[in-house]
Chain A
Amino acid sequence: MNAVYAPAEDDVVARELHGEFIIIPISSGVGDLEDEIFSLNETGKAVWDKLDGKKKLEEVISELTVEFEGSAEEIRNDVTGLVEELLKRKIIVEN
């Protein structure tokens, strides 16, 4: 939980498009398939905004626990779940 994560800036582009937050892989080997982009829901976007390459994951979880309803355990599971998904797809990197 001391790890620090950040968007893979050279490999993905994050855009807000007509109210939808999307992540577009632009480098080879990032994401799954050529044509795929990723859409983050409101919760996902809130997590994404905090993965700034400075905050430790524990701090991210703490902040979200204050901002969102839900038990600390639920929020921890959500955040780590999302981070795992993004890491697997190389959309974020560990700093």
Chain B
Amino acid sequence: MGKKSSYVVTKNLNQASLWRNTKPLLGRLDIELTERCNNNCIHCCINLAEHDKTARDKELSTKELKNILVEAADLGCMMVRFTGGEPLLRDDFEELYIFTRKLGMKVILFTNGRLITLRLVELFAKMPPGEKIEITVYGMTKGSYDSAVRRQGAYEEAWQGINLLLANNIPFVVKGALLPSNKTELKEFEDFASTVTWMDRGPSYSMFFDLRGRRDSEKRNAQIKALRLSPEEGLSILTRDKKEYMKDKKQFCAKFTRPAGNNLFSCGAGKGSACVDAYGKLQLCMGLRHPDTVFDLRKQSIKTIMTERFADIRKMQAKNPRYMERCAKCFLKGLCEQCPGKSWTEHGTLDTPVQYFCDITHAQAEYLGLLGKGEKAWTVENWQERIRKFVEEV
């Protein structure tokens, strides 16, 4: 006693030094509360029908979810992302939300906004999530919206939800999904987004759509592929604010461009973060559902899975010769969406190159001047010099 200086130290929740020199085993947990959704978007990689009884019966119970949340908090977790499907379809959402906040964890909510009610907004006002709610907007008109989500009346409900958040000053951001039905509304959407005071920058878009994560329908995958933007179309969207795009890419390339070698996991998946699917399987990330990489939380703890199983998986090496010839040697690996999760959804393996993402990356690299026309990144020997020049040029 007697040293007055620091009874209370104010810190930012995101401050890494909170954990002194060690990071927690689990800093953030994503929880897919359900795969069911009240929308029926043709481009979606996960959605099941809203009233799919088989799916609902398999979902984690409230008690199971609370046990998972308690273990997450004990492991040092400070942030939980509730996603889906549509997480607000769960009858126990409010209960889970309050429980999570009372464990001291922040909540990020991914929603389409249709089920946001005054009651929920009042809860968010009294007990703020701590992070901005993220709402995907599928269209600025009734025609475009309802056509994208294939549900009559969805437009009115979604905008009612958004307006409730606005009226009650609940922080949120909007995101878009670029679909044939709403492509012409880009400016209108961005004009609206610019009026949302909590948007730090322009909205992000889904446009290079993922295939079905459960690999449950070839027909649906074909439909999703048909909706994907071409690499050139995607590039024109990504570079619509050229200055911002170049600035971002210079910062990114300075840190993350280098060949990753045969290590399959050059990302941070399963290291400090993880994802629980709707049925209690712990995944390294939301995209990776390969049966050899997911573990049942009804049988094992998060701690055991993360320290033993995930640690082993993260050591996995590519065996596919095509991967080793291309992706392993590609200095653009950090810029590319190629990963075990994408390989799984596209090809059912962990180490098969995904041509679509390769093409997108090469289109960007040509635009940035990192590659010549038709040049393949894995053949470039002086990549360090190219990156240095790109990062340094004004």
Residues of A close to B128: CB separation below 8 A: 26-28, 34
The answer on a CB contact under 8 Å between A69 and B9 is no
Is B8 an interface residue, CB under 8 A from the partner? yes
Is B240 an interface residue, CB under 8 A from the partner? no
Is B382 an interface residue, CB under 8 A from the partner? no
Known: A26-B102, A26-B127. A44 touches B7 (CB 8 A): yes
Residue of A nearest to B6 (CB): A41
Is A40 an interface residue, CB under 8 A from the partner? yes
The answer on a CB contact under 8 Å between A17 and B76 is yes
The answer on a CB contact under 8 Å between A43 and B8 is no
Known: A17-B19, A34-B130. A77 touches B76 (CB 8 A): no
The answer on a CB contact under 8 Å between B12 and A36 is yes
Q: How large is the interface on A (under 10, 10 to 19, 20 to 34, 35 or more residues)?
A: 35 or more
Is A24 an interface residue, CB under 8 A from the partner? yes
The answer on a CB contact under 8 Å between B14 and A35 is yes
When chains A and B are docked, how far (Å) is the Cα of A64 from the Cα of B2?
Answer: 12
Is B234 an interface residue, CB under 8 A from the partner? no
Residue of A nearest to B76 (CB): A17
What 1/0 mask marks residues of chain B from 55 to 79 whose CB sits below 8 Å from any chain A CB? 0000000000000000001001000
Instruction: For the complex, count residues of B whose C-beta is within 8 A of A.
Output: 29
The answer on a CB contact under 8 Å between A13 and B102 is yes
Residues of B close to A35: CB separation below 8 A: 12-14, 130
Q: Which of A60-86 contact B (CB under 8 A)?
A: 64, 68-71, 74-75, 77-78, 81-82, 85-86
Known: A28-B125, A34-B130. A86 touches B8 (CB 8 A): yes
Residues of A close to B126: CB separation below 8 A: 27-28
Measured CB to CB, the closest approach of chain A to B128, in angstroms, equals 6
Q: A26-B102, A71-B2 are in contact. List 8 more A-B contacts (CB 8 A).
A: A13-B101, A17-B19, A18-B24, A18-B76, A22-B104, A37-B12, A39-B8, A40-B9
